[in-house]
Structure 1
Amino acid sequence: MRITEAAELYIALNVYQQDTADTLNRVARLFETRSGCRSIESIDLVAIKTFRDETLKVAKPVTYNGYLRYLKLLSKWLFDEEYVQKDWFSKVKSATLPIAPPKTVDDDVFLKAITYLKTDSGAPQPAWFWLIVIRFLYFTGVRRRQLVAIEYQDLDLKKQVLTCSYRGSKTYREWDIPIADDLIPDLEYLIRRAEDELGRPMREGDRLFNVCLFYHRYKPDPKNNGAMRREHVTGFMRRLSNKIGQRIGAHRIRHTTATVLCNPVDEEHEPDIFSVQKLLGHTQLSTTRNYVKTKIGRIRTQVNRMSLPK
């Protein structure tokens, strides 16, 4: 059995998220190409080392580690189901990564991006749409995949609540989060523009964010009823970063949301990290902690409270 065939079988029996299926298929193809190993029976440590070396020539260690997680998952399943006699990946270690603080977006970068989108005629179009996307990402902390999966019925403007649907969830869960007051005019405007393009009121099943409605150069997802794809968000963020000369991206904004909420301006109030965990949809508090960059000012305040006898 080819490795790609094994991946397809595993997906058919165990995977329910299209994103996960696409990634596993891609990793299986990469392993076959870079290791020179085609069948599951021919996998060995030499093939794994070859894959690692070839991958690290063109990708960062963090990318290799992501591939390795999927390959370990597939290998363990093949061993458990007795398709192979040994789980060769079981003792393969991930590449060592430096532990750096979370990457966030400073206020001046937000200001530069927003000003550029508002004033520059050469800004990515439709600029009004992308402004709303940036603001929405900031005030909600949602991922790209969640943003593009939001449907009209997930939004309750009267109660100011958004249901983060299982459709865009990495863990196939749903949870509710509040919609900030500042976002209400944005969302009302977005809905009006969408209804103008559709020629009808928005209804259940319509995607809330769909740039394809407003700009024909964006090609809709043929597998998902003409919906916007998360790659559209990635491409926009890359172009925006190049134009303003500063890095900005959906996941950096997500880290920023966590950092801002856990570093309140009023240092007399302790941050509510459990609320932040709920907002971001993390199942483990430790994950939320990894998202937060504690500002040096808060640490300085704590240090200056220390004293020694004189």
Structure 2
Amino acid sequence: MTTPLTLTEEYIFAHDLREASAKIYRASTKALLKHFRTTPIDQIDHRAVLTWRKRVLENGLSKRSWNTYSNHLRTVWGYAIENGMMTHTTINPFKKTSVIPPKRASKTINGDAIQRARNWLTGLVGQERSTHERSQITPAWFWLAAFEMFYYTGIRLNALLCLRFKDVDWDSQMILVRGETEKTHREFFLPIMDGLAPHLCRILGEAEKVGFSPDDQLFNVNRFSRHYHGKEMNIDQVESMYRKLTDKIGVRITPHRFRHTLATDLMKQPERNIHLTKSLLNHSNIATTMNYIEVDYDHMRVVLHERSLAQGALNQVRRVDPSRTPPASSVTPPPTQIRLPSRDSAHPEPKNLPNLQQPDTTEVGLDRPSRSTGTGALQKALELASAQLHRGSMPPAMESPADQIEQSLLLTLISSGLGAGTFRKRTSSERSIGITSFSRASP
């Protein structure tokens, strides 16, 4: 009888999977069996899978975990359908059952945290050398070398653990990463950079001292310190060291985060060579590489700024100095110049005028404009208007032009936004000497 478990084992048998990958396939199948139990395989259709999805998500399973189940089971079912292991259907029930997970937090490590971690490890190296005593992370020189290996190459943790003594070609300055250690099952080479060379040279030198054979695990802390008794270094030992490093620095640092950091840093370079980044991380396609690259918002800001410069958008932007109060001209537009018809161009305009307000006046209120205006500009306009009307006495027969001047002045003040006061009618005594007065409205 065909069961989900037999389908999974057939798929694993037919493919050259790493043990870690096979473990994930089996875990996904166990999750399916936990829900469907003894349900016949021909009754596990698309709707049944969607019902399972709804239940586990409501019970708190993360969307990423569900996608792991969905993707692996879809692969198993697809293999079974393709090879005739299922005769009741040709439709994969796990097709289009994944969900959109929430965006993950950044997996990159900022440069300051990397430098602080490097400085701390370097300090421990000096401490052990001078005191000959075991430090918090020992031997410090070994863990510093592993740290720099992750930083410079972005190598996977499993690939680092599988490096052999003979995989380092010092003459050509290359490191061979064998295919059986990689998810892509493709071998590739990593160049030895100047910053990495002294650390790798120390590893090789110490390995020769203790008698490493060509096939021995190169990064094996158990061979370099009497405080360890294991035969080979494992993932738990590496993760334990990075937990201590995280606690010390206050920023989460893991070997895998160096891969994201390296990809992001390479794409910040002027050439931004995505194919070089893909090859260095040994990805099978560029889409995977793009998932490793974090958005560079600083670069985005620069690009958008250059765009605005090229299109002349910044020419319309008023620049304000945040260190001081902007001048009045940057807040209030310059007042409109008021030109009044001159009654007598031969008379000069007085510079200083006395206060022309009289107590016995009849006022006609005008609405105050909503926007504020400069009091200095208003005072100059009032003085100019009064000066024009004060040039000598006028015969009674000429009152009509003065009235026209009053109306013209009133309209000008209103249209220019300077009429922030109230316009007063002339009293009979003022009319006899040809004076027009203005007074500011009370606030």
TM-score range, shorter chain: 0.7 to 0.9
Return the offset for 1:161.
0.9
Aligned to 1:247: 252
The 3-state SS of whatever aligns with 1:182 is coil
In structure 2, relative to structure 1, the CA distance for the partners of 1:81 and 1:113 (3 Å cut) is same
- Residue by residue over 1:13-52, the C-alpha shift from the partner in whole angstroms, topping out at 9 and shown as x without a partner, is 2234333222222322333235535764553443664366
Deviations 1:101-140 (A, max 9, x none): 7520012221333344455777344443222222111100
Q: 1:46 aligns with which of 37, 45, 48?
A: 48
In the alignment, is the contact (CA less than 8 A) between 2:49 and 2:93 conserved in 1?
no
Distance 2:228 2:67 in 1: 31
Q: Secondary structure in 1 aligned to 2:195?
A: helix
* 2:194 is the alignment partner of 1:189: no
Greater RCO, CA 8 A, separation 6+ = 1
The 1-side partners of 2:160 and 2:54 are apart by 33
Task: Write the letter of the residue equivalent to 1:80.
Answer: E
Counterpart of 1:4 in 2: which secondary structure?
helix
User: Residue 145 in 1 paired to residue 155 in 2?
Assistant: no
8 Å contact 1:212–1:219 — kept in the other structure? yes
Query: Cα distance 1:271–1:92, how it changes in 2: closer, same or farther (>3 A)?
Result: closer
Which structure dedicates a bigger proportion of its chain to helix?
A: 1
Matched position secondary structure for 2:176: strand
Structure 2 residue aligned with 1:129, among 134, 138, 142?
142
Q: CA deviation at 1:72?
A: 0.8
Indicate yes or no: 2:294 matched with 1:281: no
> How far apart, in 2, do the equivalents of 1:52 and 1:237 lie?
37
| Residue aligning to 2:320 | none
Task: Return closer, same or farther for 1:144/1:301 CA change in 2, 3 Å cut-off.
Answer: same
Q: Which residue does the alignment assign to 1:61?
A: 63
Rounded Cα–Cα distance in structure 2 between residues aligned with 1:103 and 1:154 = 29
Stretches of structure 1 that go unaligned for 5 or more consecutive residues are 221-225
> In the aligned structure 2, how far is the partner of 1:219 from the partner of 1:295?
45
Deviations 1:139-195 (CA, angstroms, capped at 9, x unpaired): 001111221122222211221111221022111111222111111111121123334
Q: Distance in 2 between matches of 1:38 and 1:109?
A: 52
Query: Does structure 2 conserve the Cα–Cα contact (< 8 Å) formed by 1:139 and 1:180?
Result: yes
**TM-score (structure 1 length as normaliser):** 0.81
Query: Does the Cα contact within 8 Å between 2:50 and 2:97 map onto a contact in 1?
Result: no
Letter in 2 for 1:67: Y
Alignment RMSD: 3.0
**Which residue in 2 is equivalent to 1:223?**
none
- Identical positions, percent: 26
Q: Distance in 2 between matches of 1:114 and 1:218?
A: 23
- 1:233 counterpart = 2:210: no
1:58/1:133 CA distance change after superposition, 3 Å: farther
Between structure 1 and structure 2, the one with the greater Rg is 2
Paired residues for 1:1-310 under 5 Å: 1-37=2-38, 40-41=41-42, 43-44=44-45, 45-46=47-48, 49-50=51-52, 53-54=55-56, 57=59, 59-84=61-86, 85-86=88-89, 87-99=91-103, 102-119=106-123, 123-196=136-209, 199-200=210-211, 202-214=212-224, 226-264=231-269, 269-306=270-307, 307=309, 308-309=311-312
Structure 2: state its 5+ residue gaps.
125-133, 316-443
2:148–2:196: 8 Å Cα contact kept in structure 1? Answer: yes
* Residues 30-39 or 253-262, more deviating: 30-39
State the alpha-carbon separation in 2 of the partners of residues 188 and 263 from structure 1. 30
* Alpha-carbon distance in 1 for matches of 2:82, 2:296: 46
Cα distance, 1:52–1:29 mapped onto 2, change above 3 Å:
farther
Contact 1:109–1:246 (Cα < 8 Å) also in 2: yes
Q: CA deviation at 1:213?
A: 2.8
Kept after mapping to 2: 8 A contact 1:211/1:228: yes
Q: Secondary structure at 2:99's aligned position in 1?
A: coil
Deviation, structure 1 residue 100: 5.1
Distance change in 2, residues 1:250/1:38 (3 Å): farther
- Which stretch shows the higher mean deviation, 13-22 or 71-80? 13-22
How far residue 90 of structure 1 moved from its aligned partner, in angstroms, is 3.5
Matched letter for residue 263 of structure 2: A
Counterpart amino acid of 2:146?
V
**Higher mean Cα deviation, 97-106 or 210-219?**
210-219
1:27 alignment partner, SS class: helix
Corresponding residue pairs, total: 298
